[in-house]
Amino acid sequence: TYVVTENCIACKYTDCVEVCPVDCFYEGENTLVIHPDECIDCGVCEPECPADAIRPDTEPDMEKWVEFNRKYSELW
Ligand code: SF4
């Protein structure tokens, strides 16, 4: 799965939302978030993010961001 990370804070771009084929972006408190169970891991959103905030969860130390994305996407 891909996750939204701290560079998203206060970012106003929604390019990622527009390209996601499964509409798995949700609004968090001050970031967008990706629902980790709905993301199909296509990677299309990553290069679209002007803030470079979207990372694959296979990178090191992503556990807290996976939890963050899950927490806020499940409020909807
Ligand atoms: Fe959507 Fe694909 Fe990005 Fe997952 S990797 S959030 S499915 S665009």
Reported CATH class of domain 2-73: alpha beta
Looking at the CA of residue 44, tell me the nearest atom of ligand 1: 8
Using CB atoms within 10 Å of the CB of residue 61, give its burial: 0 to 12 exposed, 13 to 18 middle, 19+ buried: exposed
| Alpha carbon distance 57, 11 (integer Å) | 20
Res 2: pLDDT: 98
Q: What is the pLDDT of residue 76?
A: 80
% of the chain with per-residue pLDDT over 70: 100
List residues near ligand 1 (CB under 6 A). Answer: 2, 19-20, 22, 24, 34, 39-45
Lookup: tokens for 26: 């949700």
Kindly report, residue by residue over 41-69, the tens digit of the pLDDT. Answer: 999 999 999 999 999 999 999 999 999 99
User: Which ipTM score applies to this complex?
Assistant: 0.95
Q: Which residues pair with 27 in a beta bridge?
A: 32
How far is Cα 24 from Cα 17, in angstroms, rounded to an integer? 8
3-state DSSP helix/strand/coil % of the chain, to nearest 5: 30, 15, 55
